[in-house]
Amino acid sequence: MSVHLQTERLQLRRITPDDLDALVELDSDPEVMRYLGGRPTSRERMRDEYLPRILAYYERGDDLGYWAAAERASGAFLGWVFFRPYREGDPHLPGIDRSGIELGYRLRRAAWGRGYATEACRALVERGFETVGVERVFAETMAVNTGSRRVMEKSGLRHTATFHLPGEPDEEVQYALSAADYS
């Protein structure tokens, strides 16, 4: 198991094919998926589409990609975090700056409200600016997702934009932090 980063309570490690069941279980919780379209991810789609995309990051050999978030004490899978360039093919929106590195997370409901997402995100932001040399970090969520917005704020990011994705009725928000503002 390749550990990417450790915090006081968490271990961020590489996701492996052995995590397939945990990933499917995570995406099967309607509350976890509430702000992500509400539909679970099928086992086949996770195995054949998402997991290969996640694993491809490790072949690049940099500090960017997806990481399983696990409790240090027990090794229990809590969810995942990502720290990656914005994906090609995602909608380009005039006036929305998606330069830099995107920060994201998805945790099991049992891990909510315990500060794990904030702890993981702060560690990734710190490593990004202090070790990797990124110039900007950003994260996006639905405007009504107050829990994720709090995580972004507690991770040092500031609200930079409110917008609508094409074909979606709900507002989205972006939070970001530049290297200059970090230091």
Nearest C-alpha neighbor of 176 from the set 97, 70, 94? 97
pLDDT in tens, 63-106: 899 999 999 999 999 999 999 998 766 666 777 888 999 999 99
Phi, psi of 119 (to 5 degrees): -60, -45
d(CA 162, CA 86): 18
Evaluate if residue 27 carries a pLDDT over 90. Answer: yes
Band (pLDDT 50/70/90 cuts) for residue 123 is very high
60 compared with 121, residue with greater pLDDT: 121
User: 3-182 adopts what CATH topology?
Assistant: Aminopeptidase (3.40.630)
Band (pLDDT 50/70/90 cuts) for residue 3 is confident
Question: For 112-137, what is the mean pLDDT?
Answer: 97
Question: For 177-183, what is the mean pLDDT?
Answer: 95
Question: For 139-161, what is the mean pLDDT?
Answer: 96
d(CA 147, CA 161): 17
27 compared with 37, residue with greater pLDDT: 27
d(CA 10, CA 124): 12
